[in-house]
Amino acid sequence: MEDRNQGLWFHPPAKQPNQINPVVLAYLGDAVFEMMVRQYLIAQPNHKSNHLHRLATGFVSAKAQCALLERWQPLLTEQEADIVRRGRNAKSGAPPKNANLADYRQATALECLVGYLYYEKQTERLRELMAVAFDEPAAAIGKFEEDNR
């Protein structure tokens, strides 16, 4: 009988997560990261869609993800650091016109790690890392709300 307590893991990957192409892990990690950011923002008091969108953009841009990865680096296990290296070195195409190549590669590395942790069902580890992501911007959210009153 199928386990109904699988959470969001409806379809397991065809390969072990450490054998999946890093660009594919980043593809998934991009969606997971954005979902976690949106959940966090919806947990905050202001639910105006324009406000939510602006705040989300501050988390999901290549530049923001590059800065976040720098904050995560000292916290990573050796295995996680290896996944990040694989993601950073993967050939993922040209960066968007509003991002430089270095930031884009770091953002891909972050997304690769998020996708890997998601497929490994390491939700507690994702929560720990995302708590770091939301720590500093929480003050910025408060300032943003003060500035827009």
Instruction: Give the catalytic positions in this structure.
Output: 30
Using the structure block, give the residue that is written with the tokens 């930031």.
103
Q: Which two tokens stand for residue 16?
A: 């072990």
- What is d(CA 87, CA 84) in angstroms, rounded to the nearest whole number? 5
Helix, strand, coil percentages in the chain from 3-state DSSP, rounded to 5: 70, 0, 30
Largest pairwise CA distance in the chain: 54
Distances (CA, A) of 65 to 33, 88, 109: 10, 12, 9
